[in-house]
């Protein structure tokens, strides 16, 4: 098999490349330059490219550097900024996988005569007799199926994820055994295009106008001060909000950019048994799941699996959760898994803002109210 392996310069993709070489495949490495600005982590720095290149040298494979900065700016960075400007909390790694790695790079791999694209993600592609399926990685703590949940069968047919079968510890010990220079390299944590010293606030502050917002109590409607930079505020956030009149913790339950208003509530207000999804963003691995079907959902990159039931009406899609969960910030990806085989990804979508008309909180959003009657879906 001719394999193009995306090498970020980290240990996972280094070992992915090594495993493919050991299996006797014809392997070529490629590192993406995605970001022209300052950055100290992720897939973009010269030091990371050097790590990838030296690992490729050690493995005896050809290594290329591809410059996809323009595509990354258009498909990942600009939408990231626009999403924050609208008061949402985007997940740029998901969009990078969607548009860059498993679209642009996968297309390029095929055009260059490769049979498959490999990455160092911790997830598994199961190829049985039928169509391929995306499964969670073996290492539950490092599982990255969430950020790959938008992949379709057509993509999975051309994707291999060699380290998904290993724990992170096994990956590192394999790298050490081979003497790869990336064996002890720390995991990348943050958004790769945001420099640690500058932070999200500094980055977004250069790219968009940040506004003060009135902090409004969701139960009383009273204004309880102001917050700076509401575009950086995330639904579910507690930091910077202070406590309520009763001394209890306060959480953000809604960010309303046009109204310059951040709605806050107590413990009970920040949990819900209902997740509204953006129908335009729903993807299915292999054909749609239907209204009423049981699923398991993961609501954030490192969130626990939660059982739920799909609710689909004319122009709306939602998940009724088996138990109330912390509110999902609009813009976040919701990964959907098979209820009967909860390792298996079935689809993905991006969460919508709970109450598009404003700060009004409807009954179905209250804690514990997992069961929703069809009437609640009418705005």
Partner 1 sequence: MTYLDHAATSPLRPAVAEAMAPFGSAVFGNASGSHQVARRARRALDDARERVAQVVGADPGEVVFTSGGTESDNLAVFGTLAALAESGSPCRAIVCSAVEHAAVLASCQAVATSSARLRGIEPVEVRSAPVDAGGALDVGALEELLTDDVALVSVMLANNEVGTIQPLPAVAALVARRAPRAVLHTDAVQAAAYLDLAAAARDAQLVSLSAHKLGGPKGVGALIVRDPARVGPILHGGGHERDRRSGTSNVGGAVGLAVALEEIAAVRDEEGSRVAALRDRLAGGIISAVPGAVLSVDLHRCLPGHAHFRFGGVEREELLVLLDERGVCASGGAACSSGALEPSHVLAAMGVPPDEARGAIRFSLGHTTTESDVDAAVEAVRSAVAELRA
Applying CB under 8 A, which of residues 22, 53, 54, 259 lies at the interface with partner 1?
Answer: 53
Contact between 74 and partner 1 by CB under 8 A: the answer reads no
The alpha carbon of 51 is separated from its chain's Cα centroid by a whole number of angstroms, namely: 25
Contact between 284 and partner 1 by CB under 8 A: the answer reads no
Applying CB under 8 A, which of residues 1, 57, 82, 113 lies at the interface with partner 1?
Answer: 113
Contact between 110 and partner 1 by CB under 8 A: the answer reads no
Residue 342 tokens read as 């909860």
3-state secondary structure of 374: helix
The alpha carbon of 292 is separated from its chain's Cα centroid by a whole number of angstroms, namely: 25
Nearer to partner 1, 66 or 284 (CB): 66
**Nearest approach, Cβ of 43 to partner 1 (angstroms)?**
11
**Nearest approach, Cβ of 33 to partner 1 (angstroms)?**
4
Binding segment toward partner 1, per CB under 8 A, in 59-67, 84-92, 158-166, 242-250: 59-67
Contact between 33 and partner 1 by CB under 8 A: the answer reads yes
Contact between 112 and partner 1 by CB under 8 A: the answer reads yes
Applying CB under 8 A, which of residues 6, 49, 61, 159 lies at the interface with partner 1?
Answer: 49
Whole-number Å distance between alpha carbons of 275 and 364: 10
Applying CB under 8 A, which of residues 64, 207, 238, 366 lies at the interface with partner 1?
Answer: 64
Question: Is the CB of residue 151 less than 8 Å from the CB of residue 102?
Answer: yes
Nearer to partner 1, 71 or 269 (CB): 71
Q: If we measure between CA atoms, which residue out of 54, 62, 60, 53 comes closest to residue 22? A: 60
Q: Based on the residue annotation, tell me whether 93 is a catalytic residue of this protein.
A: no
Whole-number Å distance between alpha carbons of 252 and 262: 7
Q: If we measure between CA atoms, which residue out of 146, 178, 154 comes closest to residue 17? A: 178
Binding segment toward partner 1, per CB under 8 A, in 77-85, 110-118, 140-148, 339-347: 110-118
Q: If we measure between CA atoms, which residue out of 359, 268, 375, 236 comes closest to residue 311? A: 375
For 289, residues 6+ apart whose C-beta sits below 8 A from its C-beta are 295, 310, 336, 346, 347
Residues that bind partner 1 (CB under 8 A): 31, 33, 45-46, 49-50, 53, 62, 64-67, 69-70, 108, 111-113
Active site residues: 96, 192
């Amino acid at each position: 098999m001719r394999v193009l392996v995306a090498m970020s310069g980290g240990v996972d993709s280094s070992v992915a490349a090594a495993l493919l070489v050991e299996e006797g495949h014809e392997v070529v490495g490629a590192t993406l330059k995605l970001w022209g600005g300052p950055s100290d982590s992720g897939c973009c720095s010269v030091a990371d490219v050097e790590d990838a290149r030296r690992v490729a040298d050690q493995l005896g494979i050809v290594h290329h550097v591809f410059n996809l900065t323009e595509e990354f700016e258009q498909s990942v960075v600009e939408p990231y900024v626009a999403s924050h400007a609208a008061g949402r909390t985007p997940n740029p790694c998901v969009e990078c996988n969607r548009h860059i790695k498993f679209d642009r790079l996968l297309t390029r791999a095929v055009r260059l005569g490769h049979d498959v694209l490999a990455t160092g993600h911790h997830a598994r592609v199961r190829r049985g007799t039928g169509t391929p399926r995306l499964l969670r990685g073996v290492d539950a703590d490092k599982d990255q199926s969430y950020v790959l949940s938008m992949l379709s069968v057509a993509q999975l047919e051309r994707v291999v994820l060699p380290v998904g079968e290993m724990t992170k510890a096994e990956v590192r010990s394999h790298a050490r055994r081979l003497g790869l220079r990336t064996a002890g390299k720390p995991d990348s944590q943050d958004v790769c295009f945001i420099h640690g010293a500058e932070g999200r606030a500094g980055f977004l502050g250069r790219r968009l106008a940040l506004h003060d917002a009135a902090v409004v109590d969701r139960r009383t409607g009273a204004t309880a001060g102001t917050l700076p930079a509401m575009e950086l505020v995330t639904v579910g956030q507690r930091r910077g909000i202070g406590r309520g009149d009763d001394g209890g913790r306060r959480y953000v339950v809604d960010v309303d950019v046009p109204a310059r208003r951040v709605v806050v509530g107590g413990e009970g207000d920040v949990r819900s048994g209902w997740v509204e999804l953006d129908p335009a963003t729903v993807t299915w691995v292999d054909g749609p799941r239907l209204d009423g079907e049981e699923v398991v959902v993961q609501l954030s990159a490192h969130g626990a699996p939660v059982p739920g039931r799909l609710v689909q009406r004319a122009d709306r899609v939602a998940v009724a959760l088996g138990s109330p969960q912390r509110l999902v910030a609009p813009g976040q990806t919701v990964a959907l898994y098979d209820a009967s085989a909860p390792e298996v990804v079935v689809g993905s979508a991006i969460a919508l803002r709970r109450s598009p008309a404003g700060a009004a909180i409807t009954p179905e959003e209250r804690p514990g109210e997992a069961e929703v009657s069809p009437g609640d879906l009418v705005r």
